[in-house]
Amino acid sequence: MLIPRQKSILELARQVGRVTVEDLAARFEVTPQTIRKDLNDLCDKRLLTRVHGGAILSSGVQNVGYDARRMMAMEAKAAIGQATAALIPDSASLFINIGTTTEAVARAMLQHDGLMVITNNLNVASLMRGYSQIEVVIAGGVVRHADGGIVGEAAVDFIRQFKVDFAVIGVSAIDADGALLDFDYREVRVAQAIISNARHVILVSDATKFERSAPVRIGHLSQVQTFVTDVCRPAAIRRICAEANVRLIETGDPAATT
Protein backbone atom coordinates (compact mmCIF):
# COMPACT_ATOMS: atom_id res chain seq x y z
CA MET A 1 0.00 0.00 0.00
CA LEU A 2 1.23 3.48 -0.86
CA ILE A 3 0.70 6.46 1.37
CA PRO A 4 -0.93 9.53 -0.30
CA ARG A 5 2.39 11.37 -0.71
CA GLN A 6 3.95 8.37 -2.46
CA LYS A 7 0.95 8.13 -4.77
CA SER A 8 1.41 11.81 -5.63
CA ILE A 9 5.12 11.29 -6.27
CA LEU A 10 4.37 8.39 -8.59
CA GLU A 11 1.75 10.39 -10.49
CA LEU A 12 4.18 13.30 -10.85
CA ALA A 13 6.84 10.94 -12.21
CA ARG A 14 4.34 9.67 -14.78
CA GLN A 15 3.70 13.25 -15.90
CA VAL A 16 7.27 14.54 -16.11
CA GLY A 17 9.37 11.39 -16.35
CA ARG A 18 11.89 12.31 -13.63
CA VAL A 19 11.52 13.64 -10.07
CA THR A 20 14.23 15.04 -7.81
CA VAL A 21 14.65 14.87 -4.05
CA GLU A 22 15.10 18.64 -3.78
CA ASP A 23 11.95 19.52 -5.72
CA LEU A 24 9.82 16.92 -3.95
CA ALA A 25 10.97 18.04 -0.50
CA ALA A 26 9.96 21.61 -1.33
CA ARG A 27 6.66 20.56 -2.92
CA PHE A 28 5.52 18.42 0.03
CA GLU A 29 7.26 20.51 2.72
CA VAL A 30 9.12 17.56 4.22
CA THR A 31 12.80 16.78 4.70
CA PRO A 32 14.98 15.33 1.93
CA GLN A 33 15.45 12.26 4.13
CA THR A 34 11.68 11.66 4.09
CA ILE A 35 11.60 11.94 0.31
CA ARG A 36 14.55 9.57 -0.06
CA LYS A 37 12.66 7.01 2.03
CA ASP A 38 9.57 7.47 -0.17
CA LEU A 39 11.64 7.00 -3.30
CA ASN A 40 13.36 3.94 -1.87
CA ASP A 41 9.96 2.43 -1.03
CA LEU A 42 8.69 3.10 -4.56
CA CYS A 43 11.88 1.63 -6.03
CA ASP A 44 11.58 -1.45 -3.82
CA LYS A 45 8.13 -1.95 -5.38
CA ARG A 46 9.76 -1.45 -8.81
CA LEU A 47 7.52 1.51 -9.58
CA LEU A 48 10.45 3.92 -9.87
CA THR A 49 14.18 3.59 -10.49
CA ARG A 50 16.66 5.58 -8.42
CA VAL A 51 18.99 7.92 -10.31
CA HIS A 52 21.42 10.60 -9.22
CA GLY A 53 19.45 13.12 -7.14
CA GLY A 54 16.02 11.54 -7.64
CA ALA A 55 14.15 8.84 -9.56
CA ILE A 56 12.62 8.03 -12.94
CA LEU A 57 9.75 5.83 -14.03
CA SER A 58 10.76 2.20 -13.81
CA SER A 59 10.22 0.87 -17.30
CA GLY A 60 12.64 -0.89 -19.58
CA VAL A 61 10.05 -1.65 -22.25
CA GLN A 62 8.06 1.57 -22.67
CA ASN A 63 9.39 5.07 -23.18
CA VAL A 64 8.38 8.10 -21.15
CA GLY A 65 5.77 10.24 -22.96
CA TYR A 66 7.00 12.85 -25.43
CA ASP A 67 5.86 15.88 -23.42
CA ALA A 68 7.54 14.52 -20.29
CA ARG A 69 10.77 13.79 -22.21
CA ARG A 70 10.77 17.28 -23.64
CA MET A 71 10.70 18.73 -20.11
CA MET A 72 13.48 16.49 -18.79
CA ALA A 73 16.99 18.02 -18.61
CA MET A 74 15.92 21.00 -20.72
CA GLU A 75 18.96 23.15 -19.88
CA ALA A 76 21.33 20.25 -20.53
CA LYS A 77 19.69 19.55 -23.90
CA ALA A 78 19.91 23.21 -24.90
CA ALA A 79 23.64 23.27 -24.10
CA ILE A 80 24.17 20.00 -25.99
CA GLY A 81 22.30 21.53 -28.92
CA GLN A 82 24.55 24.59 -29.00
CA ALA A 83 27.74 22.54 -28.73
CA THR A 84 26.64 20.20 -31.51
CA ALA A 85 25.58 23.03 -33.81
CA ALA A 86 29.07 24.48 -33.44
CA LEU A 87 30.54 21.27 -34.91
CA ILE A 88 28.54 21.47 -38.13
CA PRO A 89 29.62 24.03 -40.75
CA ASP A 90 27.44 25.92 -43.18
CA SER A 91 26.64 24.22 -46.50
CA ALA A 92 26.65 20.74 -44.95
CA SER A 93 24.26 17.85 -45.50
CA LEU A 94 23.00 15.98 -42.46
CA PHE A 95 20.52 13.55 -41.01
CA ILE A 96 18.62 14.43 -37.83
CA ASN A 97 16.64 11.60 -36.27
CA ILE A 98 13.87 11.33 -33.68
CA GLY A 99 14.36 12.72 -30.18
CA THR A 100 13.98 15.75 -27.98
CA THR A 101 17.77 16.25 -27.81
CA THR A 102 18.11 16.15 -31.59
CA GLU A 103 15.32 18.73 -31.72
CA ALA A 104 17.46 20.95 -29.45
CA VAL A 105 20.28 20.60 -31.99
CA ALA A 106 17.94 21.61 -34.82
CA ARG A 107 16.83 24.64 -32.84
CA ALA A 108 20.46 25.70 -32.36
CA MET A 109 21.16 25.41 -36.10
CA LEU A 110 18.48 27.76 -37.38
CA GLN A 111 21.02 30.46 -38.26
CA HIS A 112 23.21 28.11 -40.30
CA ASP A 113 23.33 28.79 -44.03
CA GLY A 114 23.07 26.38 -46.94
CA LEU A 115 22.13 23.28 -44.97
CA MET A 116 20.42 20.24 -46.42
CA VAL A 117 18.61 18.45 -43.58
CA ILE A 118 17.10 15.00 -44.09
CA THR A 119 14.92 13.99 -41.17
CA ASN A 120 12.34 11.47 -40.01
CA ASN A 121 11.25 13.86 -37.27
CA LEU A 122 8.19 16.00 -38.06
CA ASN A 123 9.05 18.33 -35.16
CA VAL A 124 12.46 19.06 -36.70
CA ALA A 125 10.88 19.62 -40.12
CA SER A 126 8.29 21.99 -38.66
CA LEU A 127 10.97 23.87 -36.73
CA MET A 128 13.25 24.40 -39.73
CA ARG A 129 10.79 24.78 -42.60
CA GLY A 130 10.41 28.56 -42.18
CA TYR A 131 14.11 29.23 -42.82
CA SER A 132 14.78 29.67 -46.52
CA GLN A 133 18.53 29.04 -46.19
CA ILE A 134 17.82 25.49 -44.98
CA GLU A 135 16.52 22.81 -47.33
CA VAL A 136 14.42 20.28 -45.41
CA VAL A 137 13.79 16.79 -46.80
CA ILE A 138 11.31 14.56 -44.97
CA ALA A 139 11.43 10.78 -45.00
CA GLY A 140 8.27 8.90 -45.92
CA GLY A 141 6.74 6.22 -43.74
CA VAL A 142 4.44 5.66 -40.78
CA VAL A 143 4.01 8.68 -38.48
CA ARG A 144 3.96 7.84 -34.79
CA HIS A 145 1.18 9.75 -33.08
CA ALA A 146 3.12 9.97 -29.81
CA ASP A 147 6.00 12.14 -31.02
CA GLY A 148 5.82 12.84 -34.76
CA GLY A 149 8.53 10.35 -35.61
CA ILE A 150 8.45 8.69 -39.04
CA VAL A 151 9.34 4.99 -38.89
CA GLY A 152 9.07 1.80 -40.91
CA GLU A 153 10.64 0.21 -43.98
CA ALA A 154 9.67 3.09 -46.28
CA ALA A 155 11.68 5.48 -44.09
CA VAL A 156 14.64 3.07 -44.09
CA ASP A 157 14.59 2.80 -47.90
CA PHE A 158 14.37 6.58 -48.21
CA ILE A 159 17.35 7.20 -45.91
CA ARG A 160 19.48 4.72 -47.87
CA GLN A 161 19.28 6.95 -50.96
CA PHE A 162 21.60 9.51 -49.31
CA LYS A 163 25.21 9.78 -48.19
CA VAL A 164 25.56 12.85 -45.98
CA ASP A 165 28.32 14.74 -44.20
CA PHE A 166 26.90 14.43 -40.68
CA ALA A 167 24.27 12.49 -38.75
CA VAL A 168 22.86 13.74 -35.47
CA ILE A 169 21.29 10.87 -33.57
CA GLY A 170 19.66 10.48 -30.18
CA VAL A 171 18.99 7.34 -28.16
CA SER A 172 16.72 6.33 -25.30
CA ALA A 173 19.42 4.66 -23.21
CA ILE A 174 23.15 3.94 -23.14
CA ASP A 175 24.18 0.68 -21.49
CA ALA A 176 27.33 0.34 -19.41
CA ASP A 177 28.90 -1.77 -22.19
CA GLY A 178 28.38 1.05 -24.71
CA ALA A 179 25.28 -0.40 -26.37
CA LEU A 180 22.95 2.29 -27.77
CA LEU A 181 19.35 1.36 -27.01
CA ASP A 182 15.80 2.34 -27.96
CA PHE A 183 12.22 1.19 -27.51
CA ASP A 184 10.71 0.90 -31.01
CA TYR A 185 12.41 -1.60 -33.33
CA ARG A 186 11.00 0.33 -36.31
CA GLU A 187 12.81 3.47 -35.16
CA VAL A 188 15.97 1.46 -34.59
CA ARG A 189 16.00 0.31 -38.22
CA VAL A 190 15.87 3.94 -39.37
CA ALA A 191 18.63 4.95 -36.92
CA GLN A 192 20.85 2.12 -38.17
CA ALA A 193 20.36 3.27 -41.76
CA ILE A 194 21.27 6.81 -40.72
CA ILE A 195 24.49 5.64 -39.05
CA SER A 196 25.46 3.60 -42.12
CA ASN A 197 24.96 6.50 -44.53
CA ALA A 198 26.77 9.36 -42.79
CA ARG A 199 30.45 10.24 -42.92
CA HIS A 200 30.49 11.61 -39.37
CA VAL A 201 28.01 10.43 -36.72
CA ILE A 202 27.34 12.66 -33.71
CA LEU A 203 25.55 11.06 -30.77
CA VAL A 204 23.71 13.56 -28.56
CA SER A 205 22.45 12.46 -25.16
CA ASP A 206 22.07 13.95 -21.70
CA ALA A 207 23.35 12.12 -18.63
CA THR A 208 19.95 10.64 -17.70
CA LYS A 209 20.36 8.15 -20.57
CA PHE A 210 23.11 6.39 -18.59
CA GLU A 211 20.50 5.64 -15.92
CA ARG A 212 17.83 4.20 -18.19
CA SER A 213 17.21 0.95 -20.02
CA ALA A 214 15.51 0.03 -23.29
CA PRO A 215 15.05 -3.33 -25.04
CA VAL A 216 16.19 -2.77 -28.65
CA ARG A 217 19.81 -2.36 -29.70
CA ILE A 218 20.64 0.36 -32.25
CA GLY A 219 24.38 -0.18 -32.27
CA HIS A 220 27.44 0.61 -30.18
CA LEU A 221 29.10 3.79 -28.98
CA SER A 222 32.23 2.83 -30.92
CA GLN A 223 30.29 3.34 -34.17
CA VAL A 224 30.03 7.12 -33.68
CA GLN A 225 32.76 9.70 -34.19
CA THR A 226 31.62 12.30 -31.63
CA PHE A 227 29.58 12.01 -28.43
CA VAL A 228 28.12 15.23 -26.99
CA THR A 229 26.64 15.07 -23.48
CA ASP A 230 26.31 17.30 -20.45
CA VAL A 231 28.43 15.12 -18.14
CA CYS A 232 29.78 11.59 -18.52
CA ARG A 233 30.21 9.98 -15.12
CA PRO A 234 30.51 6.27 -16.02
CA ALA A 235 34.20 5.33 -16.23
CA ALA A 236 33.34 2.45 -18.60
CA ILE A 237 31.83 4.87 -21.12
CA ARG A 238 34.88 7.13 -20.94
CA ARG A 239 37.10 4.11 -21.52
CA ILE A 240 35.09 3.05 -24.60
CA CYS A 241 35.36 6.56 -26.04
CA ALA A 242 39.13 6.57 -25.50
CA GLU A 243 39.67 3.10 -26.94
CA ALA A 244 37.42 3.65 -29.98
CA ASN A 245 38.77 7.17 -30.66
CA VAL A 246 35.33 8.73 -30.07
CA ARG A 247 35.57 12.43 -29.33
CA LEU A 248 33.78 13.09 -26.02
CA ILE A 249 32.41 16.61 -25.51
CA GLU A 250 30.91 17.51 -22.13
CA THR A 251 28.94 20.76 -21.97
CA GLY A 252 28.54 20.80 -18.18
CA ASP A 253 31.00 21.07 -15.35
CA PRO A 254 31.44 17.54 -13.89
CA ALA A 255 32.57 18.95 -10.55
CA ALA A 256 29.39 21.01 -10.26
CA THR A 257 27.04 18.13 -11.07
CA THR A 258 28.44 15.25 -9.03
pLDDT digits (tens, 9 = 90+) for 48-83: 888 888 988 765 544 555 566 666 677 889 999 999
Which amino acid, residue 132? S
Question: How are beta strands 150-151 and 48-51 bridged, if at all?
Answer: unpaired
The pLDDT value recorded for residue 223 is 96
Mean pLDDT of the chain: 89
Angle (nearest 5°) at CA 116 between 110 and 120: 85
How large is the average pLDDT for residues 11-19? Answer: 80
Which domains does the chain show, CATH number per domain?
4-58 (1.10.10.10), 68-257 (3.40.50.1360)
Q: Which of 138, 113, 198, 203 is closest to 164 using CA atoms?
A: 198
Q: Is the pLDDT of residue 121 over 90?
A: yes
* Dist CA 67 CA 80 (whole Å): 19
| Close Cβ partners of 237 (under 8 Å, ≥ 6 residues apart) | 174, 176, 178, 210, 221
How large is the average pLDDT for residues 97-111? Answer: 94
